Amino acid sequence: MISDPDVVGLLYLVTIACFVVSLKFLASPRHARKGNWVGGVGMLIAIATTLLLDGIGNWVWIVIGLVVGSVVGVVGARNVRMTAMPQMVAIFNGVGGGAAALVALSEWHNATGPVWDETVSIALSALIGSISFAGSIVAFAKLQELLSGRPIVFPAQNIVNIVVLVGAAALGVAAVAGVEDQWVLYTLIGLALLFGVMFVLPIGGADMPVVISLLNAFTGLAASATGFVLDSTVLIVSGMLVGAAGTLLTLLMAKAMNRSVASVIFGAFGQVQTGAGTARADDGRTVRATTAEDVAVQLSFARKVIVVPGYGMAVAQAQHDVRQLADVLEERGIEVKYAIHPVAGRMPGHMNVLLAEASVPYTQLFEMDDINPEFPQTDVALVIGANDVTNPAARSDPGSPIYGMPILDVDKAASIVVLKRSMRPGFAGIDNELYLDSKATMLFGDAKESVLKLVSAVKAS
């Protein structure tokens, strides 16, 4: 048993240092995995220290809780497919937020008297934690396609949301002002859960990278607020580190879409812009369909090919086949690179994870700013299931809802081949002018089947 508060504090300080080093390492490809281990050691120290504190009892329940939680965590983490990673991240986010809200609830239940700063922390932790929990569950349901990935909207949605949020906040203020009834916090949590559900419902699939990062930040902040209630610096600092990381990612994602975070949350993209930025198909240009054999010939005679993956590749689980195609091309001496848009897919860095799973070396993956100057020297740009992030209207058409969004300059390549399921517009609900480009041809069909056909056609040619 540890009873000396200085020893306890020092052990928690080691944990904090481990977490900071862990985050630092996670930001560099060479050390990332080591970083996760350092974080793991820090966490074990914190858990062991807490278990050894004076006055900790209820051992049976603690052990059962640890075992049950571990089994759920390991089974979930081990079995999830890489394509399901966004929903996995969402759900682990949610459980953290839920835990923070429950800790706040029990602290409220056992509060001995009104201490205003503790009550503020309890209210904040319950509020943010509940929003994060409910929001993450809805995000999970959307990504898992239990709910439609399209925005779900109803009239006066933003007003209703604001009323709910203000109601929850008002209850928090009431609690701080001295209303000590249990129902205050129950109702607050209920309203916060409702808000969490309603604020994610109208957000569509392509905006998920922003939302997931934001929920991540929320859970961190909720944990940090709990630290104030429990007077625990390790919670305050660790929670805030995550809050900062999540906020930074949220801003990065929003910037990559040239939208403000507020417009993502309140905008219900694809809903507001009707008739804007429609491709002018009546100017005589038409979409040209092609066959796998023709594309194979094009690829075989190319010197340089850039693959542009998007969410369509994830849906079709085509990443392994894409890598196979790249291998076949490289065997013929053709240079193959991958162009990754920051918001391609459903979470930050989604494409990188999928391609890493398919053992594509990360030295072949290039960020937007690094690869864009190379498109003019590229013979074939192979767009696999990406849409809005390649739409030249973002550069040229001020009327387009995605105008100003940084895009991959696919249209500057000598020729463009687009693998696409159908002519259905992308998430933003607008047509892609790229498809009308005289250099562009379309290979329709499921991304996986199309790529497999390409592999055998290239081998045969």
Partner 1 sequence: MTDLPLVIELTILVLAAFLGFEVIAKVPTMLHTPLMSGANFIHGIIIVGAILVLGTADDTFTKVIGFAALVLATANVVGGWFVTDRMLGMFKRRPEPKRDSKEPGQ
- Should residue 114 be labelled a site residue for partner 1 when binding is judged by CB under 8 A? no
Contacting partner 1 within 302-321 (CB under 8 A): 317, 320
The strand order across the sheet containing 365-367 reads 365-367, 335-340, 304-309, 380-384, 415-420, 440-444
Among 26, 160, 169, 315, which residue sits at the site for partner 1 (rule: CB under 8 A)? 26
Whether the CB-CB separation of 232 and 12 falls below 8 Å is answered with yes
Stretch touching partner 1 by CB under 8 A, among 20-28, 260-268, 387-395, 415-423: 20-28
Long-range contacts of 361-366 (CB under 8 A, 24+ apart): 362/29, 364/326, 364/336, 364/337, 364/338, 365/337, 365/338, 365/340, 366/337, 366/338, 366/339, 366/340
Stretch touching partner 1 by CB under 8 A, among 93-101, 196-204, 266-274, 375-383: 93-101
Between 21 and 276, CB nearer to partner 1: 21
Give me the residues paired with residue 309 across strands. 384
Between 19 and 427, CB nearer to partner 1: 19
Among 3, 40, 291, 423, which residue sits at the site for partner 1 (rule: CB under 8 A)? 40
Q: How far is the CB of 234 from partner 1 (least distance, A)?
A: 6
Q: In whole angstroms, how large is the CA radius of gyration of the chain?
A: 25
- Should residue 349 be labelled a site residue for partner 1 when binding is judged by CB under 8 A? yes
Buried b (16+ CB within 10 A) or exposed e, 197-218: bbbbbbbbbbbbbbbbbbbbbb
Q: How far is the CB of 382 from partner 1 (least distance, A)?
A: 19
In the set 321, 388, 409, 437, the catalytic residue is 388
Stretch touching partner 1 by CB under 8 A, among 8-16, 273-281, 288-296, 393-401: 8-16
- Should residue 292 be labelled a site residue for partner 1 when binding is judged by CB under 8 A? no
6 contacts: CB under 8 Å, gap ≥ 6:
none
Contacting partner 1 within 212-251 (CB under 8 A): 212-213, 216, 219-220, 222-224, 226-228, 230-249
Give me the residues paired with residue 306 across strands. 337, 381
Rounded to an integer, what is the distance from CA 34 to the centroid of its chain?
23
How many residues are present in the chain?
Answer: 461
Say how far apart CA 286 and CA 283 lie, in whole Å.
9
Q: How far is the CB of 54 from partner 1 (least distance, A)?
A: 10
- Should residue 9 be labelled a site residue for partner 1 when binding is judged by CB under 8 A? yes
Q: How far is the CB of 160 from partner 1 (least distance, A)?
A: 28
Q: How far is the CB of 48 from partner 1 (least distance, A)?
A: 10
Among 99, 147, 160, 315, which residue sits at the site for partner 1 (rule: CB under 8 A)? 99
- Should residue 333 be labelled a site residue for partner 1 when binding is judged by CB under 8 A? no
Buried b (16+ CB within 10 A) or exposed e, 29-52: eeeeeebeebbeebeebbeebbee
- Should residue 276 be labelled a site residue for partner 1 when binding is judged by CB under 8 A? no
- Should residue 10 be labelled a site residue for partner 1 when binding is judged by CB under 8 A? no
Pairing of strands 365-367, 380-384: unpaired
Contacting partner 1 within 118-177 (CB under 8 A): none
Q: How far is the CB of 384 from partner 1 (least distance, A)?
A: 17
Q: How far is the CB of 128 from partner 1 (least distance, A)?
A: 11
Query: Site mask, partner 1, residues 360-389, x = CB under 8 A?
Result: xxxx-x-xx---------------------
- Should residue 404 be labelled a site residue for partner 1 when binding is judged by CB under 8 A? no
- Should residue 284 be labelled a site residue for partner 1 when binding is judged by CB under 8 A? no
Q: Which of 199, 168, 198 is nearest to 186 (CA)?
A: 168
Buried b (16+ CB within 10 A) or exposed e, 363-394: eebbebeebbebbeebbbbbbbbbbbbbbbbb
Stretch touching partner 1 by CB under 8 A, among 75-83, 171-179, 300-308, 375-383: 75-83
Task: For residue 154, report the phi and psi dihedrals to the nearest 5 degrees.
Answer: -145, 165
Among 88, 192, 254, 417, which residue sits at the site for partner 1 (rule: CB under 8 A)? 88
Between 202 and 243, CB nearer to partner 1: 243
Structure token pair of residue 351: 């494409």
| Residue count, binding to partner 1 (CB under 8 A) | 120
Say how far apart CA 362 and CA 352 lie, in whole Å.
8
Structure token pair of residue 140: 């999970």
Which residue is it, tokens 């203000």? 166
Q: How far is the CB of 317 from partner 1 (least distance, A)?
A: 7
Q: Is 388 a catalytic residue?
A: yes
Stretch touching partner 1 by CB under 8 A, among 97-105, 171-179, 264-272, 390-398: 97-105
Sign of torsion, CA 410 415 421 426?
Answer: positive
Question: Looking at the annotation, which residues are catalytic?
Answer: 388
